[in-house]
Amino acid sequence: MRFERREQIPPALAVLTPLIAVAISLALAGGLIALAGAPVLTAFGKIITGAFGSKLALTETLARTAPLILTGLAAAVAFRARLWNIGAEGQLYLGAIAVAAASAHLFGGLPGVVQIPLLFVTGALAGMILLLIPLWLRLRFQVDEVVTTLLLNFVALLVVSMLIDTVLKDPLAFGWPQSVPVASQAELPKIIPRSRLHIGLVVAVVLAFVVHFIQSRTAFGLQSRAAGLNPSGAAFAGVPLGRTLVLVAMLSGGLAGLAGAVEVMGITSYVTTELSPGYGYSGIVVAMLAGLNPLGVVLAALFTAVMFVGADAMSRSLAVPSYIADVTVALSLLTMLVAIFFTQYRIRR
């Protein structure tokens, strides 16, 4: 028995692959729920109602979808060019703390219509810089960016921890380690009053379409895909690999940094070391579930947000551990990787 690479992937198989992966992961999660002593169908019903069953649940699910779309896009853009950016979590935190600092000490007196775009750019620039460092190490010294981007997550979190306990500490926080808040005029408008759903979701969805346009209709998008599919062939054809990867890193890191900006300006108004429940790492799962397709990222992010929000409700109702959601998302990644393999290869005897 051997594996033979398919010359062409049937379109129906490409569409069904993520659905099959999600179905298998849910089946495996159902087994874990059964082992926990809860009725499986009832548990899945609680997840759905917990994510969509009320105005509060729906707005909370959509609010969590926004940063997942941005970190998912960050991973999808980088992975398509074979730039293995595992550091979206650190880029998110650096973007968030840059926004808090800029709002408090640079742009705080500006009106919201001016300050919000400036803070978006500030957060994106912070994320870009953090990803350009490991890219430079790869291009200059052939250092594996998987290791450097992963380790920079911990470095970024430590830097943020130091800043919110020293120069950026909020003096009105009664000693609690949190940053100074962003100016009130920099807070993102709410889509639905008295909820946490803000226009960051609209920004994230629009950016998904923008990234899709860039990748499918521009020379840069074609060059980044060529760099990912066959770097040697792309270089032979005249694609400037170094410049292409720099632009990919700027786009990927910028999207991850923007996720931090959106989270601070739309949800918390300040930065703590618990700002993200792992949006950067979950973005990798989102990107893989979407098959690195920017528009698919939106649906994959919504699925992940449903699991996170719905699992909390299920846990409260049935006394099932809420980490079932984390396990399900992780199983989705594993099953998706296996599904992608069998999409690209067939078994021959």
In tens, the pLDDT along 58-68 reads 999 999 999 99
Q: How far apart are CA 230 and CA 226, in angstroms?
A: 6
Spatial contact of 256 and 280, defined as CB atoms under 8 Å apart: yes
Decide if pLDDT at 344 tops 90: no
Closest CA to 252 of 130, 117, 141, 97: 130
pLDDT at 207: 97
pLDDT tens digits, one per residue of 272-317:
999 998 899 999 989 988 889 999 999 999 988 998 888 888 877 8
Highest mean pLDDT among 257-266, 299-308, 337-346: 257-266
Spatial contact of 192 and 45, defined as CB atoms under 8 Å apart: no
pLDDT at 321: 75
Identify the residue whose tokens are 């109702």: 317
Q: How far apart are CA 115 and CA 129, in angstroms?
A: 21
**Structure-token pair, residue 287:** 């990107």
Q: How far apart are CA 107 and CA 121, in angstroms?
A: 12
**Structure-token pair, residue 214:** 């860039």
Q: Compute the Cα dihedral for 244, 248, 250, 251 and give only its sign.
A: positive
Mean pLDDT of 27-38: 85
Average pLDDT over the chain, rounded to whole? 90
Length of the chain: 349
Q: How far apart are CA 269 and CA 235, in angstroms?
A: 45
- In this prediction the pTM is 0.91
User: What phi, psi does 180 have (nearest 5°)?
Assistant: -60, 145
Closest CA to 63 of 254, 210, 279, 272: 279
pLDDT at 230: 85
Q: How far apart are CA 281 and CA 259, in angstroms?
A: 13
Spatial contact of 119 and 102, defined as CB atoms under 8 Å apart: yes
Highest mean pLDDT among 27-36, 66-75, 220-229, 270-279: 66-75
Cα first-last separation, the chain: 4
